[in-house]
Amino acid sequence: MDREPATSPADAAPAEVRRRRLPPALGVRSFRWLWMSQWPVLLATWMQTVALGYFVYTQTRSVTAVAVVSAADGIPSVALSLVGGALADRHPRRRILLITQSVLGASAGTLAVLASTGHATLGAIVAVAVVFGSSSAVDLPTGQALVADLVERDLVLNAMALTASALSVCRLAGPSLAGVLYAVAGPGACFAALAIAYLAPITVLWLVIPDVAPPGGPVRRRLLSDIRFGFGAALHEPLLRAVMAAGGVLALLGVSYMPFLPVLARSHLHVGTAGLGVMYSVGGIGGLAGGLLLSGMGRGRGRRRLLVGGGALYALSLATVARSTWLGWTLPALVGVSLAFVAINTTLTTVLQTDAPAALRGRLLGLYATLAAGLQPLGTLLYSALGAAHLFDGVAVGAVLVGLAAIGVGARANLSPVVATPPA
């Protein structure tokens, strides 16, 4: 672990005290710089998300157009996350991220130019969204795999929890900043903010992050063979199969309730847009609380407790949301849902980063991301097929199934590392 040298014992003592107060993953210089560089990107990403939807709707007055742009950004996650994970196992992850984050920044800059010059047609926006989504699909599993390259195995959970905390804080602040900046300077400024923000991680990747070689050594196989082997390991190794199943249930029946919050607000809680806004905002509070809880656990002990406790809390909280008729019950329950989601999701991804062979890490994270991106919209369709009368009965049942899936993984007698070996 990296530690800055002290010039004298007198100077070292206060520095060591300050360091002990920090989450242990921040004691690793390379991760500390990478984590700090992600803050402006996470904040500006939320700003772009809010501004882009509003901008497309004001330009087209079409809900369909908003959905098309959202799909253009999201569909590549289903199609390319596996490819991105396989690439992360074949090439140095730092180099991949330098490319993907440069493309992401350039895409945001292109949106800024189009919006500021009046050339932002729907076709142009969709094209940029496809490029942005495709780069994100490769960037996500690569960035997650890089974390385990930078910190010791028992600090990965702590590092992932710190990332979740940053995401939750930015989720709270980003939309508000987007509203102010959009009103003052227009949508182009919101998109330009993200383009500029990417300079921070690109600089850190270039100057601070080491160029770690792929853990599998020189690659002589075809990319498709690598992807097939990753699938095979996920299907046949009991621990990996359990983690993927729990993540799939979480995506299919857990987070897919979110599009129906406006229905809940109007039909069950009888609150207006102000109440609905608060319902969405408290999710960030729960996510922040979950991230801080996990980061305070130090070196990642107690994964079983996180999965079992998180599963029980998720089931209870989401079932309460589904059955509640009073906002006073719903808001703390939504906090509980977000807190439990961070505990479950962070722990599952940490297992993939620490207990699977390093040579498979990117592919497994890519498969996990594919399941999350692909099953969430299917879950939303599944719930909608139940109709208004039984919609939230279905969400309550889904909550219990998510809880049981997480508890099932956490209660396994054997959480030992996987030893699958890729073919030469």
CA angle, residues 320, 323, 327, in degrees to nearest 5: 75
Going by C-alpha positions, the residue among 286, 347, 293 that lies closest to residue 318 is 286
- pLDDT tens digits for range 363-385: 999 999 999 999 998 998 899 88
Does the pLDDT at position 397 exceed 50? yes
Task: Report the pLDDT averaged over residues 323-336.
Answer: 95
Going by C-alpha positions, the residue among 324, 170, 342 that lies closest to residue 254 is 342
- pLDDT tens digits for range 276-287: 878 887 888 899
Q: 244: pLDDT confidence band, cut at 50, 70 and 90? A: very high
Q: 22: pLDDT confidence band, cut at 50, 70 and 90? A: confident
The two tokens of residue 138 are: 């490769």
Which pLDDT belongs to residue 366? 95
Does the pLDDT at position 323 exceed 50? yes
Percent of the chain past pLDDT 70, that is, above it, reads 90
Structure pTM?
A: 0.85
CA distance 175 to 280: 11
Which pLDDT belongs to residue 281? 79
Which pLDDT belongs to residue 218? 60
Q: What CATH number does domain 25-153+172-207 carry, 1.10.150, 1.10.10, 2.30.29, 1.20.1250?
A: 1.20.1250
Of 11-20, 153-162, 209-218, 341-350, least confident by mean pLDDT is: 11-20
Q: Phi and psi (nearest 5°) for 105?
A: -65, -40
Q: Where are the alpha helices (DSSP H) in 118-185?
A: 122-150, 156-185
Amino acid at 336: G
Does the pLDDT at position 1 exceed 60? no
Does the pLDDT at position 272 exceed 90? no
Measured distance between the N- and C-terminal CA atoms of the chain, rounded to whole angstroms? 32
Q: 416: pLDDT confidence band, cut at 50, 70 and 90? A: low
- pLDDT tens digits for range 336-371: 999 999 999 999 999 999 888 888 999 999 999 999
Which pLDDT belongs to residue 133? 94
Q: Are 239 and 414 in contact (CB under 8 A)?
A: yes
Q: Where are the alpha helices (DSSP H) in 186-302?
A: 187-197, 199-207, 223-236, 238-249, 261-264, 273-295
Q: Phi and psi (nearest 5°) for 72?
A: -60, -30
CA distance 226 to 290: 35
Measured CA to CA in angstroms, residue 18 lies from 15, 23, 26, 300 at distances of 5, 10, 11, 21
CA distance 270 to 333: 17
Any idea how long the chain is?
Answer: 424
Measured CA to CA in angstroms, residue 221 lies from 89, 215, 282, 422, 424 at distances of 12, 15, 47, 10, 7
Q: 113: pLDDT confidence band, cut at 50, 70 and 90? A: very high
Amino acid at 69: V
Measured CA to CA in angstroms, residue 396 lies from 173, 253, 254, 280, 316 at distances of 30, 9, 10, 19, 9
- pLDDT tens digits for range 175-187: 888 889 999 999 9
How many CA atoms within 13 Å lie on the side-chain side of 383? 27
Its CATH class, for the domain covering 223-410, is mainly alpha
Report the sign of the C-alpha dihedral through residues 252, 258, 264, 269, in that order. Answer: positive
Q: 111: pLDDT confidence band, cut at 50, 70 and 90? A: very high
Residue 328: exposed, middle, or buried by beta-carbon count in 10 A (0-12, 13-18, 19+)? exposed
The two tokens of residue 110 are: 């292109």
Q: Are 289 and 339 in contact (CB under 8 A)?
A: yes
CA distance 151 to 162: 13
Which pLDDT belongs to residue 15? 47
Q: Are 122 and 56 in contact (CB under 8 A)?
A: yes
How many CA atoms within 13 Å lie on the side-chain side of 414? 7
Residue 163 CB neighbour total at 10 angstroms: 21
Which pLDDT belongs to residue 110? 98
Going by C-alpha positions, the residue among 249, 184, 232 that lies closest to residue 409 is 249
Q: Where in the chain is the domain with CATH 1.20.1250.20?
A: 223-410
What's the whole-number average pLDDT of the chain? 88
CA distance 94 to 118: 36
